[in-house]
Amino acid sequence: MTPEGSLLSAEALHKAYGATPALDGAEFSVHPGEVVAVMGPSGSGKSTLLHCLAGIIRPDSGTVRYGPHDLTRLSDAQRSALRRSDFGFVFQFGQLVPELTALENVALPLRLNGAKRKEAERQAREWLERLEVDAVHGQRPGELSGGQGQRIAVARALVTRPRVIFADEPTGALDSLNGERVLTLLTDAARDTSAAVVLVTHESRVAAYSDREIVVRDGKVKDMLAGLI
Amino acid sequence: MSIGHTLLGLLESGPRHGYDLKRAFDAHFGHDRPLHYGQVYSTMSRLLKNGLVEVDAVEPGAGPERKRYAITDAGVTDVAQWLARPEKPEPYLQSTLYTKVVLALLTDRNAAEMLDTQRAEHLRLMRGLTERKRGGDFADQLICDHALFHLEADLRWLELTAARLDRLAETVRA
């Protein structure tokens, strides 16, 4: 798929860790409301690709376009602000703040963006309900099951209504039933809000929730729809 | 598995007698079920009739004459089309997929590309089943899950084979 009309795109990305190349001319694009699965064997560069696309790390060369921005040219502070306002993140192990309740965890991104506590918590409750975990809103991460914790992580990723959601093996630590429910809720919510989802996974059953998949091998990207590497 | 396509693929490296074809088939693909001579000769007759092979030489022997078969241009095209066309994903495909990979390697075609094409076809079907699960009732979900688990097993095999292509190439070309 061409980057035309894409929300986020990358061209000719190169990134090496020491002498080891992680990305070697990788290309990528995702459109609004589209779920793209990023697949590939361990160590192929898929997490590095996600980190470059999300502006977490800067590639050695190449461009990452998001709206009018080239993320590779923004300062750390600018990229950090963009991540807070426009991007949402879900990782394999929730990475919730252990000292905060489920509700406070979900409200946190809104609070960091300057929302008042009451309003942030009102919106957070809406997402907890949607993710079917409102009943545990007062509990801390240590008191939650893996499935509940991951749903709260998804709620936290969605609460700011991000335009792009980055999910790195979001169900890797869950059993089949919980994993499927989390994926259904995540992709439904993303489509409802026209958010794009970049879904890194090595599981085909997870990738089956996407609209299309790309495969990363040796730092290069193959778009399975276009058949090009 | 298509025995006709497999024998055609084996002929691409050079003309062979029926007996040599059977031996090559058994060595690569007949671990559990060696090919019967009758199958070889009936298949070759059909391929001959369809213009996909031709008799390259006839050698007199103690018994019946021995025919040496060669693949025609139409036969090469037929093999190429078969290898490039993804199989309809269904349970127990592995013998056909394995045969296609080995033949692609033996005939210096792009086996990785063939595996990717098949992989995309499997995932396309998995997407359809996942979508059906979203809107289906409980029975529908269980039926789709059964198909999804089978397809997932095939896909894992495709990925593992893709990662081991170099080693497989060494083995089959030895």
Task: Determine contact: A222 vs chain B, CB below 8 A.
Answer: yes
Q: Give the ranges where A90-140 is alpha helix by DSSP (H).
A: 102-112, 117-130
| B140 and B164 part of one domain | yes
Give burial (CB, 10 Å; 0-12/13-18/19+) of B14: exposed
Q: Is the pLDDT of residue B26 over 70?
A: yes
Scan for tokens 């007698």, then name that residue: B17
Q: What is residue B93's predicted lDDT score, i.e. its pLDDT?
A: 60
Q: Judge contact between B9 and B1, C-beta under 8 A.
A: no
How far is CA A54 from its chain centroid? 8
| B75 and B100 part of one domain | no
Q: What is residue A48's predicted lDDT score, i.e. its pLDDT?
A: 93
In a domain, B38, yes or no: yes
Q: Judge contact between A108 and A160, C-beta under 8 A.
A: no
Task: Determine contact: B130 vs chain A, CB below 8 A.
Answer: yes
Nearest to B105 by CA among B169, B30, B24: B169
| B22 and B48 part of one domain | yes
Task: Choose the mutation target among A204, A206, A211, A217 for the interface with B, i.e. most B CBs under 10 Å.
Answer: A204
Scan for tokens 């993320």, then name that residue: A71
- Which of B116, B119, B152 is closest, CB to CB, to A205? B152
Domain boundaries, chain A: 6-221
Residues in contact with B44: Cβ distance below 8 Å, sequence separation at least 6, in sequence order: B7, B18, B21, B53, B67, B69
Task: Choose the mutation target among A185, A205, A213 for the interface with B, i.e. most B CBs under 10 Å.
Answer: A205
Q: How far apart, in whole angstroms, are the C-alpha atoms of residue A26 and residue A16? A: 12
Residues in contact with A212: Cβ distance below 8 Å, sequence separation at least 6, in sequence order: A1, A34, A36, A37, A223, A224, A225
Q: Is the pLDDT of residue B126 over 70?
A: yes
| B77 and B102 part of one domain | no
Q: How far apart, in whole angstroms, are the C-alpha atoms of residue A5 and residue B148? A: 33
Scan for tokens 């998995």, then name that residue: B126
Q: What is the pLDDT of residues B29-63, one digit of tens each?
A: 876 678 888 889 999 999 999 999 999 888 876 66
Distances (CA, A) of A140 to A6, A97, A111, A144, A192: 38, 9, 18, 7, 29
- Which of A184, A204, A227 is closest, CB to CB, to B123? A204
- Which residue ranges of chain A lie beneath pLDDT 50? 1-2, 227-229
Q: How far apart, in whole angstroms, are the C-alpha atoms of residue A147 and residue A182? A: 8
Q: What is the residue range of B79's domain?
A: 3-84
Residues in contact with B40: Cβ distance below 8 Å, sequence separation at least 6, in sequence order: B7, B18, B21, B22, B25
- Which of B116, B152, B156 is closest, CB to CB, to A224? B116
Residues in contact with A72: Cβ distance below 8 Å, sequence separation at least 6, in sequence order: A58, A59, A62, A63, A64
Residues in contact with A125: Cβ distance below 8 Å, sequence separation at least 6, in sequence order: A103, A134, A137
Q: What is residue B1's predicted lDDT score, i.e. its pLDDT?
A: 66
Task: Determine contact: B151 vs chain A, CB below 8 A.
Answer: yes
* Residue that is last in its domain, among B56, B84, B112: B84
pTM for the structure as a whole:
0.79
- For residue A212, give the 3-state DSSP assignment: strand
Q: What is residue B63's predicted lDDT score, i.e. its pLDDT?
A: 66
Distances (CA, A) of A229 to A7, A21, A42, B167: 21, 17, 18, 22
CATH class of A6-221: alpha beta
Q: Which residues of B touch A215 (CB under 8 A)?
A: 116
pLDDT > 70 in chain B, percent: 93
Q: How many domains does chain B have?
A: 2
Q: What is the pLDDT of residues A119-149, one digit of tens each?
A: 999 999 999 999 999 999 999 999 999 889 9
Q: How far apart, in whole angstroms, are the C-alpha atoms of residue A180 and residue A175? A: 9
pLDDT > 90 in chain B, percent: 52
Q: What is the pLDDT of residues B57-93, one digit of tens each?
A: 888 766 667 889 999 999 999 999 999 898 887 666 6
Bridge partners, A215 (sequence order): A39, A222
B 96-115 → A contacts, CB under 8 A? none
Task: Determine contact: B152 vs chain A, CB below 8 A.
Answer: yes
| Long-range own/partner contacts, residues B128-133 (CB < 8 A, 24 or more apart) | B129/A208, B130/A205, B130/A208, B130/A209
Q: What is the pLDDT of residues B11-20, one digit of tens each?
A: 999 999 998 9
* Residue that is last in its domain, among B58, B84, B110: B84
* Residue that is last in its domain, among B60, B84, B108: B84
In a domain, B160, yes or no: yes
In a domain, B89, yes or no: no
Q: How far apart, in whole angstroms, are the C-alpha atoms of residue A65 and residue A73? A: 10
Task: Determine contact: A187 vs chain B, CB below 8 A.
Answer: no
- For residue A197, give the 3-state DSSP assignment: strand
- For residue B52, give the 3-state DSSP assignment: coil
Q: What's the mean pLDDT in B166-174? A: 89
The 10 Å Cβ neighbour count of residue A89 is 20
A 36-65 → B contacts, CB under 8 A? 41
Q: What is residue B172's predicted lDDT score, i.e. its pLDDT?
A: 86
| B16 and B39 part of one domain | yes
